[in-house]
Amino acid sequence: MKIHAGELESALVNKKGVRGFTPKFLESYLHQLADQENWEIFMDVLALTLYGVMLFPNVKDLVDYAAIDVFIASKTRSENPVLAILADVYIASVL
């Protein structure tokens, strides 16, 4: 995300025992990136936001570590996120 680690740490929130970023924080960062015309990072942050809000909405209004892990696996190791989605659906149905 190209944000200083200290700033990222201060942006982390804890909801229901789960840590992550609020979509509001990510959206404000998207606006900054758009103003700077930094489209490569913009696309990554947008994808991360979509992973957290649409694909893995474990806690309302939170992009949690599960969504972040799947995004990183998909982005850096070219892993298919479908397997993670299926695992998430299976675990949710068992619980």
Question: Is the per-residue pLDDT at 89 higher than 60?
Answer: no
Secondary structure of residue 14 in the 3-state scheme:
strand
| pLDDT single digits (tens) 22-36 | 989 999 999 999 999
- pTM for the structure as a whole: 0.73
Secondary structure of residue 10 in the 3-state scheme:
helix
What's the structural domain count of the chain? Answer: 1
Structural domain including 53 reads 5-94
CB-CB contact of 70 with 84 (8 Å): yes
| pLDDT single digits (tens) 46-80 | 888 887 777 667 778 888 877 887 778 777 777 67
Which token pair is 50?
Answer: 């979509």
Question: Is the per-residue pLDDT at 94 higher than 60?
Answer: no
| Helices (H) then strands (E): counts for the chain | 5, 3
Alpha helices in 1-95 (DSSP H): 5-11, 23-36, 39-50, 65-77, 81-94
